[in-house]
Each structure stands twice: as structure tokens, then as C-alpha cells.
Structure 1
Amino acid sequence: MAAVDKPRTIDYKGTADLVTDTDKKCELAIVEAVRKLFPTHLILGEEGGLSGDPTSEYLWCIDPLDGTTNFAHSYPSFAVSVGVLFKGRPIAAAVVEFTGGPFCWATRTFTAEAGKGSFCEGKQIHVSSNDRVERSLLVTGFGYKHDEPWATNMEFFKHFTDVTRGVRRLGAASVDMCHVALGIVDAYWEYFLKPWDMAAGVLIVEEAGGRVSRMDGDDCSVFDRSVLVSNGVLHDKLLETIAPPSKKLVEKGFNFSQWFKPSNYTSDIYIGCSRPFDI
């Protein structure tokens, strides 16, 4: 919060993928806090990579600043996202969303615990009950690489813009998923996400009564690279459009499944995101 109205020090991880000094400082602060409480847990941070005990059954997925491009432009759609996995399953999540904008910044915090519901500022939240695609408001995202999946998603964007009340592109996956959980949008989808993009959001959506899958319709884990989250009642209807082209991309060799998993993370990867279980 102290950095939102100050000049940014911006570097590039690619031609368009930004990273700021705030990303790095925020991740260090989170990792330091986790290490004090859980010194043996495994941590995967967007900026710092993998650290901790490789035999741990717990994995913290940290996105210290989801929506860095928005942050760099003072555009109010970015967040800090932290999700905790146990044997590959999301069990706890927190997303701090930055809202407002210059001269009126504020935050709201989303939290979830497996089997205990989702909350925003301490109040329980639920997905929408809308069951009609034509009455839906949707959200998507686009990666930096303009490849065939990017072009396919552009077709989805055009199609759903035509048949729904609108499609938004805000630029922060964790925020998008929290908005589905809050019930202010009905669904969100995107290709080529990473574990730190998804680990908190998928739990918050499911604990709010929503549904999560891969874009081809199969069950997902946070190590997969495509996701569709929805209020549940619209899910199959959206998959009628999204799943067939996604399956064709897989047939062409695009791998949206298990793109990344820490090489020494020995716990089983649970396919099906955050379905209830006993620790």
C-alpha cells in the first residue's frame, strides 16, 4: 500500500512481462513470515522460485503482485495471492485485492479454508445463481505470447461478447476468480496460467459454491495450464463452446496439463482442485 502512489522501478522478464521492486519486496516479506511459522514447508514464489524442504507435503504458492502491469500503471486491478496446498490440494487461500485507484486506494481481503466456505472481509460469499448465458457477465485473460491458444481465446472473447452481457479483461487472475466467488461475474477462463496464479483463486471459487475445471472440461489441478471457473450452473453451457477448440489444441501438441510441478515435490497431485478431504 505504501508503494501504490510512488514511482515504480520496472524491469522486464520478457518483451512485455513486467516486474517491479514491489513484486520482489512483497514476496520477501511473505516468505519471511511463512518461514517463521512453517520453517519446513515448501514455497513456490513467482519471483524467487522454489525453496524449502522438498519432502514437505505442504506447498505455498505465492504471487506477490498479481497484475503487475496494472500496478505499474496505477490501474486498480491487482492483488497479493497466497494459496497453500497439502499433497497437491488447495487447503487455504488469501487474496488481497487493491481497489479504488490513485488518491482513493483501498483493499479487500478474500479468504477460504477447505470445507469451511469463502469470505470477503470476514463475510461469507457465494457465487451467482444466474443460469442463462445471455444474462451473464464473463471475464477472461490473455498471455503475452500471441500463439494459437491466444488466437483461439480471442475467438471465445468475440463469441461471448456477442451472446452475453459482456466480457471483461482485467489482467489479474486471482482477482478475476475472486469476483466469480463474490457473484459479481459469472465465470472466468484463461490458458497458460501458473500455480501461483491459481492456487488461491480456485479454492475461493469452490468454497463459494462454484465449479472449476480445465478448459477442455477435464478435472484440473493447480499445476495444469488452463482453467474455467464458474458459478457452476453455467459451467457445462460454457464448455459447449470452450471445450472442443481446447481439445483440438491438445491434439495439435499444446500441453495444458501438468506443465509445472516442483521436481522433488513427492506428494500426490490431486486432480479435482479443492474437493473436501481430511488432512
Structure 2
Amino acid sequence: MAGCTPVASSFQAAQPASDYAGLLHAAEQAAAAGAKVVWEAADKPRNIMYKGTTDLVTETDKKSEEEILQVLTSKFADHAFLGEEGGVSGNPDSPYLWCVDPLDGTTNFTHSYPSFGVSVGVLHQGQPVAAVVVEFSGGPGTWVTRTYTASKGGGSYCNGQRIHVSSAEQLERSLLVTGFGYEHDAAWATNIELFKHFTDKSQGVRRLGAAAVDLCHVACGLVDAYWEFSIKPWDVTAGVLLVTEAGGVVTTLEGKPYTVFDRSIVAAGPTLHGHILDVTKGPTQQLRKQGQDLSPWFVPKGYKLPES
């Protein structure tokens, strides 16, 4: 399939691990419901509101999240939920936490600029176990979608075909992707310097503006690695599982074991990942020494993080 890197053609698409099949099916239904909302609004005028000077939200974000949560709560009333727009809801004592980004890449969406997507992922005791991202690409009048799915132990897929991270081993022969948050703090400034470094040392660095899509592109081998500061759980929960089930490695920019509540991330194939860390580890540790808060955030009250 164009744009994705399938493994050997003889491989038959695996079924999700039985423990997570129901979760993945629900995630697919929920993401499809959200994507339908986005699709219907893609070429229509936007009603834009602002959460900050440049951080914006549309009615589409909110309606998409409502449709997603309606599907999930109808199936799992005893689970907990974390949505970008609505925050925390549901049962705070549940070991299951759904993390939902109803429209990742809202700025791209408002400008009809690809790419953007709908991201639905679920944690069990802090670990991602089922994930779906619906990516929108193309442009006005020519929108198309790709659906990425993964379950823990069941592999990663794009439109039903098994995908794998790239086999790139050398930074000099790699295409990278990163992102920048709305807050121009010390982490943002550090990432500008990392952007300069990697642009000089690699074949190029892209900035798409949608973390969930960035991670999907790592998972299917379109790009070789992704890194970013100040990402949030709803941005990455689905994408992290897609990368790891596609054979990739995900840690913090300091090389520590990753949780979706961490504030920095690097995702790549096994060999290239180490080369990225060789560059990012020192500056990130320096940020911490300078007082930059890199502790977990957006953790629902009472939710237990997995032990490192």
C-alpha cells in the first residue's frame, strides 16, 4: 500500500491478542465515529475559538470527542477517560484509561493543510494496549484517510496490512520529524537547537504539526525517527503502541523508560534510536538541572503509573 511499509507479503494479518480484541474493536468504532465528524467538516467554514494566543480549538474538535466518548462509554461505563477537550471523566479507580485526541493537528485542519487525525488509545495499568489513529491527508476536495491499528502483542497495521519501522541505522541517511509546542519555554528553545543539529546531520527534518500522525509515520517507515518536548497523553497514547508493535523503541529524550505522561519522547528503530539519544540526552539533562519541569503531567488523580 502506498505510504506504508508492509512486512513480507506472506505474512497474514494477525488477530489482536484475545485480552485486547474487544478494546481494539471499540477503539476502531470510536475513532471511526470521530473521523466521520472530521470528514464532514473538512471542507466547510470553521468556527474557531482560542485556548491561548495561538492554541485554537474548533467545534469539530468538541463534536468529534463527544462522538468518540459516546461510543466508549456505552461499552465501558466502568472505565476512566481522558480527552483533550473534556478532561477526565468516568471511574477514577479503573485500571483502564482511554486517552482521546479528537482532532490532532487542529491548526492544520483549520487551514485545510494535511496532516491531521483522530487518535484513540487505551492504557491498562499505565501501559498502552489498544490503539487506533485515523490520518487525514490530501487536501480540499481530495481528502483521503489511512487507519492505523495496534494491540499489545498483536502487531501494527495500516489499512489492514502489517507495518514495521524503518531499518535505518545511520543518522546521515535518515529523515526525521519533530514538533514544537505553543509555549516558548526553555524546552522549546532547546528543541530549536536540536532541530538545527539534526537538520545539519540528517537528510532532513520535517515538522508536520500532529504528534499522533508523526508516530504513525515512524511506525510505517515513512520517517525514521520522531522526537518532541511537551507532548501530552492524548497526543501519543495510540502512536506509542503503534511504534512499539511495529518494532520500534520509545523512551524519553533522556533515555528513560517511557510513559505517556512523560513530557519528552523519542521514537525510532532500534539502532537509530541510540544515535538520536546520543544527541538529545545531554541537552535534556541540562534542562532538568536548570529547573525545567520534566515530571509526568496530566495524570488523573489516583491513577497509578507503572513502575520504572
Q: Number of residue pairs matched?
A: 270
Is 1:47 the counterpart of 2:82? The answer is: no
**What CA distance in whole angstroms lies between the structure 2 residues aligned with 1:2 and 1:12?**
22
1:188 and 2:193 aligned:
no
Deviations 1:183-206 (A, max 9, x none): 010000000111101110100000
Opposite residue 305 of structure 2, the aligned amino acid is I
**Is residue 45–residue 196 contact of structure 1 (8 Å, CA) maintained in 2?**
yes
Q: Secondary structure at the match of 1:237?
A: helix
TM-score (norm 1): 0.95
SS of structure 2 residue aligned to 1:155:
helix
Per-residue displacement from partner, 1:260-279 (whole Å, max 9, x unpaired)?
Answer: 210122xx31257xxxxxxx
Q: Is the 8 A contact 2:186 2:292 kept in 1?
A: no
Equivalence for 2:291: 253
Matched with 1:219 is 257
Letter in 2 for 1:124: R
Whether 2:279 is the aligned partner of 1:241: answer yes
Aligned to 2:33: none
Give the Cα–Cα distance (whole angstroms) in 2 for the partners of residues 169 and 138 of structure 1: 9
Which string of whole-angstrom CA distances, capped at 9 and with x for unpartnered residues, describes residues 148-194 of structure 1?
11111011111111111100000000000000000010000000111
Contact in 2 for aligned 1:212/1:227 (Cα 8 Å): yes
Letter in 2 for 1:270: P
5 Å-filtered alignment, 1:37-186, equals 37-186=75-224
Contact 1:137 1:164 (8 Å CA) reproduced: yes
One-letter amino acid matched to 2:192: M
Q: Name 2:7's counterpart in structure 1.
A: none
Gaps of 5+ in 1: 273-279
Counterpart position of 1:270 = 306
Counterpart among 223, 229, 236 of residue 198 in structure 1? 236
Residues 142-151 or 207-216, more deviating: 142-151
What CA distance in whole angstroms lies between the structure 1 residues aligned with 2:75 and 2:276? 42
Could you tell me whether the CA contact under 8 Å between 1:220 and 1:271 is conserved in 2? no
Distance 1:45 1:238 in 2: 30
Structure 2 Cα separation of the partners of residues 113 and 258 of structure 1: 24
Cα RMSD of the aligned pairs, angstroms, is: 0.9
Is the 1:42–1:50 Cα contact (8 Å) retained in structure 2?
yes
What residue identity is the alignment partner of 1:251?
K
Whichever residue aligns with residue 238 of structure 1, its letter is I
Counterpart Cα distance in 2 of 1:271 and 1:129:
30
Q: Flag as ranges the 4+ runs of structure 1 deviating above 2 A.
A: none
Secondary structure, counterpart of 1:107 in structure 2:
strand
Asked whether the 8 Å contact 1:111–1:120 carries over to 2, the reply is: yes
Q: Secondary structure at the match of 1:150?
A: helix
C-alpha deviations, 1:7-60, integer Å up to 9, x for none? 000000011101000000000000000011111110000000111011111000
**In 1, distance between residues paired with 2:180 and 2:245?**
26
Could you list the runs of 5+ residues in structure 2 that have no partner in the other structure?
Answer: 1-38
CA distance in 2, matches of 1:218, 1:125: 26
Task: State which drifts further: 71-80 or 232-241.
Answer: 232-241
- Which has more helix, going by share of residues? 2
Post-superposition shift, 1:146?
1.2
Secondary structure of the 1:204 match is helix
Distance 1:257 1:198 in 2: 16
What letter corresponds to residue 213 of structure 2 in structure 1?
Answer: V
Letter in 2 for 1:110: Y
- Residues 125-150 of structure 1 show CA distances to partners (whole Å, capped at 9, x for unaligned) of 00000111100000000011111111
Equivalent of residue 26 in structure 1, options 64, 68, 71: 64
